[in-house]
Amino acid sequence: MKHTARAFWLRSPGQGEIRDVAVPEPGPDEVLVRALCTGVSRGTETLVFRGGVPESQYAAMRAPFQEGEFPGPVKYGYLSVGRVEQGPEELAGRTVFCLYPHQTRFVVPASAVTVVPDTVPATRAVLAGTVETAVNALWDAAPLIGDRIAVVGGGMVGCSVAALLARYPGVRVQLVDADPERAAVAGALGVDFALPADALGECDLVVHASATEQGLARSLELLRDEGTVVELSWYGDRRVALPLGEAFHSRRLAVRSSQVGTVSPARRSSRTYADRLALALGLLADPAFDALVTGECGFEELPDVMPRLTSGELPGLCHRVLYDTH
């Protein structure tokens, strides 16, 4: 027996559509999940939507349950929260998170879903993938007690990093963004805010997540001698100029990458992908993360909403997509 579902597809760069899809009956080690809500990862998904994935990165950028190929047609996304309608007894009826695209119902291996803790609302759990990225970044960055840290770029990832850093004892954390409206988000997360020109310098660590050339250059300026920038931005097909002349060498500055596709080397021997995601979901018990959800629409509205998110007409952070639960 097959179930019927509807899925959001990128037909071609800049054009999305809703398609009817057949969903098979789940096997003994699979679950049938009915979506409650999904999240649009504004940075990565809008880059995919505009066709900005370089051909050399097609394989690296594949989502776990992606269908189709870049630049399109492709079914892409990875922030889905739903309820298990059929599956093993221990999962039946549970609310779960899955790295699945925007689709009303889907079947995946039971091992591909993570139970959402009772302390975390389903509507907040869509942030799990983003908070997981922040967890991995902090494993890479290894901040120390009392560090002076700037997070440059107040998008979904930058704000998630700042929210976690706010829990570190004795740490000075400042969220830096060119948009003064991010000050309210910083306040909700419990960290200070500054425009780029006003940011505090002499930082031991700067986490860069603005995906702009100017933001990366400013990140280097904010470091103390021998400080480190951890680069979380992904620029897709854009080339970025970096000021490696001037005092870069004499001050012995460092730029290192962080990417969520693999578990940080600092924890790879002791943590699995499942451990990392479960940790992220547990951290979302903090209601402060609600500040990261700044927009909402119905699933059937996605073909009209995605171009507006990509162009910046709809500003903000995470855009939540709600599904008809009947």
Query: pTM for the whole thing?
Result: 0.91
DSSP string, 184-248: HHHHHHT-EEE-GGG----EEEEEE-S-SHHHHHHHHHTEEEEEEEEE----TT-------STTT
114 — pLDDT class (breaks 50, 70, 90): very high
163 to 86, 130, 157, 182: CA distances (angstroms): 36, 12, 10, 13
Judge whether residue 326 has pLDDT over 70: no
Return d(Cα 307, Cα 313) in angstroms, integer: 8
Judge whether residue 298 has pLDDT over 60: yes
- What domains, with CATH codes, occur in the chain? 3-127+284-322 (3.90.180.10), 130-257 (3.40.50.720)
pLDDT of residue 258: 94
Q: What is the mean pLDDT of the chain?
A: 95
12 — pLDDT class (breaks 50, 70, 90): very high
Structure tokens at 245: 């002349």
Judge whether residue 236 has pLDDT over 90: no
